[in-house]
């Protein structure tokens, strides 16, 4: 398996594959309450079987060229990850996302990891538009979009039902020419 360095602190980005379901579940368990504040991942990954099924679904998306998932490791431990929830190579559009357990917050890990996968998507796969969807209440996620140089396209008011509430979702994006110019 390959690993991509995320900097001098030893953090690495690696594929997150079905055989890592136990490690993935442990990561989600450590951050279940924190991660679940804004995204449904902890509601989907609840035990070993659901963890493996989630990763298997992404393995199938990768095989179909419709999505990818990568883990972020620090000190040999999985602490979060980044993904393309959707990826349409023909249309040239992909939606990126992330999760992180509390122990890894504030170190720039998500921003560094997302940069790696955006570079890959634009330069290797020819993706023209990378989107970032975040609840308007998820300030850390919106801060990542800003650090990546994304533009706020708009707000989908009360578009996302989550745990009995309807959340406003912000849509941010960066286009391939903008990404290249910023590098």
Could you report the per-residue pLDDT of 114-134, keeping only the tens digit for each? Answer: 999 999 999 999 999 999 999
Q: Does pLDDT of 170 surpass 80?
A: yes
Rounded to whole angstroms, how far apart are CA atoms 116 and 183? 12
Domain boundaries, the chain: 4-182
Closest CA to 40 of 26, 27, 28: 28
Q: Which residues of 92-123 are buried (b: 16+ CB within 10 A; e: fewer)?
A: bbbbbbbbbbeebeebebbbbbbbebbeebbe
pLDDT of 8 reads 83
Inter-residue contact 45 to 25 (CB < 8 Å): yes
C-alpha dihedral sign at 118, 119, 123, 128 = positive
How far apart are alpha carbons 103 and 180 in whole angstroms? Answer: 32
Query: Is the pTM value of this prediction over 0.85?
Result: yes
Q: Give 4-182's CATH code, choosing from 3.40.630.30, 3.30.70.1350, 3.90.850.10, 3.90.79.10.
A: 3.40.630.30
Residues listed for the chain: 183
**pLDDT confidence of 1, banded at 50, 70, 90?**
low
Mean pLDDT of 96-103: 96
């Amino acid at each position: 398996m390959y690993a991509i360095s995320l900097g001098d602190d030893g953090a690495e980005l690696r594929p997150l594959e079905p055989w890592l379901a136990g490690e993935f579940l442990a990561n989600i368990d450590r951050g279940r309450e924190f991660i679940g504040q804004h995204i449904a991942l902890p509601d989907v990954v609840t035990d070993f079987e659901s963890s493996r099924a989630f990763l298997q679904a992404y393995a199938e998306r990768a095989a179909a060229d419709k999505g990818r998932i990568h883990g972020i490791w620090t000190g040999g431990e999985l602490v979060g990850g980044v993904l393309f929830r959707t990826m349409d190579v023909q249309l040239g559009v992909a939606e990126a996302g992330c999760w992180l357990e509390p122990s890894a917050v504030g170190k720039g890990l998500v921003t560094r990891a997302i940069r790696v996968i955006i570079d890959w998507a634009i330069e290797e796969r020819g993706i023209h538009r990378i989107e970032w969807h975040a609840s308007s209440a998820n300030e850390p996620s919106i801060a990542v979009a800003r650090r990546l140089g994304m533009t706020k396209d708009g707000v989908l008011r009360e578009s996302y039902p989550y745990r009995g509430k309807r959340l406003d979702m912000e849509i941010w994006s960066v286009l391939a020419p903008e990404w290249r110019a910023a590098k």
